[in-house]
Amino acid sequence: MRKKADKQRESLAQADEDVVQAAESTVTDQEIYDRIIVSIMEHRLPPGTKLGEDKLAKIFGASRARVRQVLARLALERVVVLHPNRGAFVAEPTVEEAREVFEVRRPLEALVVRRVIEKRTDPRIIARLREHVQAEEAARAARDRRAIIRLSGEYHVLLAELSGNALAARLMHELTSLTCLIIFLYDAPSVPACRDQEHSEITQALADGNEAEAIRLMTEHLDHVEACLDLSRGRPEELDLEAALAG
Amino acid sequence: MRKKADKQRESLAQADEDVVQAAESTVTDQEIYDRIIVSIMEHRLPPGTKLGEDKLAKIFGASRARVRQVLARLALERVVVLHPNRGAFVAEPTVEEAREVFEVRRPLEALVVRRVIEKRTDPRIIARLREHVQAEEAARAARDRRAIIRLSGEYHVLLAELSGNALAARLMHELTSLTCLIIFLYDAPSVPACRDQEHSEITQALADGNEAEAIRLMTEHLDHVEACLDLSRGRPEELDLEAALAG
DNA sequence: TACGCTCGTTTTGTCGACAATATATATATT
DNA sequence: AATATATATATTGTCGACAAAACGAGCGTA
């Protein structure tokens, strides 16, 4: 059984103004991909939203086939799920999937930290990290929660890119996209001050070449983010359902 | 400039007999995917082979669009590369990419080992691992090099699946596919006895619940496989090219 | 009034056709 | 004879149209 809120969400109606820009003449697959995934990462397309092929095609001024390709790619990255004969929906990771993401990220991030420290002699490395941290602080100052969460994820992608391991960077991109979804699904709004200047501290440890400290900070950072989530109970919907049935 | 050998390889002609089965009436995407990736993992489709859409469509008795989808998926997994307007080719990982694969696998495999040890109370876990190791030994007894390499990869995928972390299992699938390609590209034929009973030893350590030993064995196993490769010099082709130019 | 069923509409899945690009062949030129 | 150019062929990229399935509305019945 579906809830009312579910059906409400299954529409692009409200999100249209945010996503629509113009029906450009020629738009590449990558642009469509980027626009959709950024919208998802910034929660303008909340989990569960139906991504109708025709609607997206009209919004982007592209053919349905092209949109379809992009949706297939997003599905492989688990950011959207495809229900056969029913269409594409923004993914709603389960608690179990959320735990798995953090479990995989921990050792991967540690690897990235080690490699970045090895390469820190190049001053551009630390410079770019500091630059990004500043952008994060700006978003935080502006109280732009969407940008904060997206930029938080992108910090880790940037770190992976700077590590020189392109494979790790690609995986980190996938994992941070999923992490954004997870945060929006499970983050307890009561703890907004979560993960504040931790990126800054990690950057400093990297600059100092203090590997043990950097890994410790990174691990605690991930622990912290995960601890902020309400992974004890099920998804919000299931919770609502339970509450409704109890009442 | 291309070499003669290159052009020779860019054809499915020789591999056809191995791959072709019949023009089945209905064949699912997953079947097409599996057939292609197993062929790649077993080196029946060597790196650099051109995967023409029409040819594959006829071979599988499917439409070109379907083949195209599968090729796109394989490209996202980096097992094939798509040259715009030129088509799909079995990937030829560079030395750098090979190193990255091992670098990412090391911490990921360690994670998997830890989780499997936690779950080893379920007797089916160790049983399935032993079963797989036996299959490997059978292939080794039969001197079936292709099956040996494929099964070696699948051992790690099985391990990841048994760890209970579906995300890790998916990543391991990708990484082992790439590892198969890498082994076929760079393995020094002079050292055929590489990685022999190591999977058996790892399984035993897991059964004993000896975490430190299992992780040590797994790490050394990966070190061993990587050390067997000729990653010092470039790809075989480049080597040939250099030699040809010198002569 | 509430439930179940049928029909119409919308959306997805699949395919074949056309256009654009790259490759290979043949011809002409230096 | 070798290179460059033009033509022909083959392969990929893109799109719109058709078929199938799911969804929603409306009707009928208990």
Q: What is the DSSP string of chain B?
A: ---HHHHHHS-STTTHHHH-----S---HHHHHHHHHHHHHTTSS-TT-EE-HHHHHHHHT--HHHHHHHHHHHHHTTSEEEETTTEEEE----HHHHHHHHHHHHHHHHHHHHHHHHTTTSHHHHHHHHHHHHHHHHHHHTT-HHHHHHHHHHHHHHHHHHTT-HHHHHHHHHHHHHHHHHHHHHB-TT-TT-S-SHHHHHHHHHHHT-HHHHHHHHHHHHHHHHHHB--SS--HHHHHHHHHHH-
- Provide the mean pLDDT of chain A: 84
Instruction: Measure A144 CA to nearest chain B CA, in Å.
Output: 31
Tell me the CB-side half-sphere exposure of residue B157, using CA atoms within 13 A: 16
- Looking at this protein, which amino acid is placed at residue B22? A
User: Has residue A174 got a pLDDT over 60?
Assistant: yes
Cα(B234)–Cα(B172) distance, integer angstroms? 25
Spans of all domains in chain B: 2-92+236-244, 95-227
pLDDT for residue B189 = 65
Residue B83, nucleotide of least CA–C1' distance: D12
- Integer distance in angstroms from CA A13 to C1' D18? 29
Q: How far is B60 from chain A (nearest CA, A)?
A: 21
Rounded CA-CA distance B131/B9 in Å is 37
Pairwise pLDDT comparison (A205 vs B10), residue with the higher score = A205
Higher pLDDT, B31 or A192: B31
Q: Report d(CA A136, CA A150) in Å as an integer.
A: 9
Distance CA A154, CA A132 (A): 9
- Closest nucleotide (C1' vs CA) to A7 is D23
Spatial contact of B139 and B145, defined as CB atoms under 8 Å apart: no
User: Which residues have C-beta within 8 Å of that of residue A242, sequence separation ≥ 6?
Assistant: A234
| B3/C30 CA-to-C1' distance in Å | 28
- Given this model, what pLDDT does residue B14 score? 39
What are the tokens at B154? 């699948």
pLDDT bin (cut points 50, 70, 90) of residue A187 is confident
- CATH 3.30.70.20 for the B95-227 domain, yes or no: no
Angstrom distance, A84 CA to C11 C1': 11
Segment A60-87 mean pLDDT: 95
The residue of chain A with its CA nearest to that of B70 is A72
Contact A136, A148 (CB under 8 A): yes
Q: Above 50 in pLDDT, residue A244? A: no
* Helix, coil or strand: residue A77: coil
Do the first three CATH levels of B2-92+236-244 and B95-227 match, i.e. the same topology?
no
C-alpha to C-alpha distance for B97 and B103, rounded to whole angstroms = 10
pLDDT confidence of residue A185? 87
List all residues 6 or more positions away from A3 whose beta carbon is below 8 Å from its beta carbon. A237, A240, A241
| Residue A222 at interface with chain B, using a CB cutoff of 8 Å | no
* pLDDT score recorded for residue A239: 46
Of A76, A53, A75, residue with least CA distance to A65: A53
Ordered strands of the A87-90 beta sheet: A50-51, A87-90, A80-83
Low-confidence ranges of chain B (pLDDT < 70): 1-25, 188-196, 231-247
CATH architecture label of B2-92+236-244: Orthogonal Bundle (1.10)
Residue B241: per-residue pLDDT: 43
pLDDT above 70 covers what percent of chain A?
79
Q: How far, in Å, CA of B78 to CA of B92, rounded?
A: 9
In terms of C-beta density within 10 A (0-12 exposed, 13-18 middle, 19 or more buried), how is residue B219 classed?
middle
The Cα A214–Cα A212 span in angstroms is: 6
A191 pLDDT tier (thresholds 50, 70, 90): low
Per CB-CB distance under 8 Å, the chain A contacts of B106 are 111
Quote the CA–CA distance of B159 and A96 in Å, as a whole number: 18
Is A171 close to B103, i.e. CB distance below 8 A?
no
Contact B67, B60 (CB under 8 A): yes
Between A135 and A233, the more confident residue is: A135
Query: Given the structure tokens 């190791």, which residue do they identify?
Result: B133
What does DSSP say about strands B87-90 and B80-83: parallel, antiparallel, or unpaired? Answer: antiparallel
Is 50 exceeded by the pLDDT of residue A15?
A: no
Which chain B residues are Cβ-neighbours of A106 within 8 angstroms?
A: 111
Closest CA to A56 of A79, A84, A87: A87
- CA–CA dist A31, A169 (Å, integer): 19
d(CA A157, CA A169) in angstroms, rounded, equals: 6
State the Rg of chain B over Cα.
19
Interface list for A 14-73 with B (CB within 8 A): 69, 72-73
pLDDT one-digit tens code per residue, A222-232: 998 888 877 66
Q: Note the pTM of the prediction, 2 decimals.
A: 0.86
Percent of chain A beyond pLDDT 90? 68
Cα dist. A83→A89, A93, A137 in Å?
Answer: 8, 15, 39
Identify residue B149 by its one-letter amino acid code: I
